[in-house]
Amino acid sequence: MNFKKTLLAAIMSSTVFMAGCSDSDSSNSNDAPNVDTPAQSAAQGESKNAWFNQGANAVAAAANNAPNIQTAKNVILFVGDGMGVSTTTAARILEGQQRGETGEENNLAWDTFPYVALAKTYNTDQQTPDSAGTMTAMMTGVKSDAGVIGVDEDVERSECNTVAGNELVSAVSLAEIAGKATGVVSTARITHATPAATYAVSPERGWEDDAEIAESNDDGHNTAGCEDIASQLVSYDYGDGIDVILGGGLRHFIPQDDGGRREDGRDLTQLWVDGAAENTTRAFVSDKAGLQGVNLEQTDQLMGLFTSSHMSYEADRDDAEEPSLTEMTEAAIDMLSKDDDGFVLVVESGRIDHGHHAGNAYRALTDAIEFSDAVKAALAKVDLDETLVMVTADHSHVFTIAGYPKRGNPILGKVVGVDDQVAVGADNMPYTTVGYMNGPGASNPANNDARGAGRIDLSEVDTQAEGFYQESLVPRGSETHAGEDVGIYAAGPWAHLAQGTLEQNMIFHIINKATGLVELADAALAD
């Protein structure tokens, strides 16, 4: 015992000494978060080093976490499309820097969740996945092929005659059968792969409207008997139908004569409104003013399609015309919370993915920051004692954070070392902290024009500009997904099941364990 006390005293003395005497690493004590020290440990007193105290406090807080094993009344699944770990890190830093901080110490909404796991994202036929197969895994509990929605791996992509017997049921559909309220929110087209996997069954993610099915038929695929994804949303007949639908993609719901893509001449938005069950009030809106004007208390079901295709990047959004992801999330929760049986809500930040595909980190990261704001808004509206909240991604991107920039260096800037010198490569030209393995930035990052062989000199280029294309190694018109694991961040009932490295389809099974959706749906069907 005396030996242990002596050892602990030595540790504490060491941290005090380092805090008071280290010139080369003084930023650790000056810039560390100001935290309350815990009660004196082993009668040795507290350290003067804030990093030591921060760590001690974090462990003390974690030790007090008690798993909540109550049945979850509500579930919110947040999906940052393409939001790999490097995206989370870079967005965290950028958000902090936008507030005038160094950035690294900042936390996004989910960074403080008590439980974290990793998800293996591969599809059953692809090492690096796509969103259709990955979201199908999260929604149904079954891993599947790339490019297919709501069906298992025994289908052939784009072949309708292989679907029968391979259909899957999503958590949203189970919730509807069980009598819960449901919602789907996305900044992408609501018929795009990720949101579509909450309600649709299709051997081809591209069949967002009937015109696209016709094109596949002309290409020789068997399309007989398949319904396009937009039509499936409107004809969706589980329970009383999805209660809140907010996102983009209006063109897939309206006829070509009205500026849409539908060849069948149907206005699916009007059909949706007219298809309301008896004593059910449905409202359709197409802009922010319309959303704000809806009396949520007196509206039973709400559809909002705010753009023809995907909604705008947060950096480009017209606040007078388009609601933000945060505003859509708040409206959805306000609507769904009226149901005494609880709700299941899926919220996707779809354009993080698109910013990365464009090789434009600024737009990808600012959308990730807005995604964090939406999570914060949700947390302010729900009770975590009865609501399971999970934040994850469907896949990652070939997006990297590299070099040796000093702490607080602009995350979108050129690498500047602790010696305040701009770092250069072997070609004697500067390079940025963030970049891509492949993508449009292999051309001129300043304007996306072809630059030929070799890099360009970025010395006079503003790499933090909204339109800058980060450098990439392999030239491609669109940057690709990546295959590494993504994070799962969880809070609320049964959130402690998010631990370790999991197959991605486990997300459905955690939701089911927390809510008993399968059992509730079976009981409802039996009645």
CB 133 within 8 A of CB 146: yes
Q: How far apart are CA 109 and CA 119, in angstroms?
A: 19
Task: State the CB neighbour count (10 A cutoff) for residue 462.
Answer: 13
Structural contact between residues 474 and 504, judged by C-beta atoms closer than 8 angstroms = no
Q: How far is CA 453 from CA 96, 321, 442, 456, 459, in A?
A: 36, 43, 9, 9, 18
Has 131 been annotated as catalytic? yes
Rounded Cα distance between 527 and 512, Å, is 20
Residue 302: strand, helix, or coil: strand
CB 11 within 8 A of CB 42: no
Q: Which distant-in-sequence residues (6+ apart) come within 8 Å of 224 by Cβ?
A: 160, 161
Is residue 169 within 8 Å of 140, Cβ to Cβ? yes
Burial class (CB in 10 A: 0-12, 13-18, 19+), 88: buried
SS3 287: coil
The Cα 222–Cα 162 span in angstroms is 9
Nearest CA to 492 among 414, 402, 391, 413? 391
Of 86, 131, 186, 372, the active-site residue reads 131
**Beta 486-491 vs 387-392: how paired, if at all?**
antiparallel
What residues act catalytically? 131
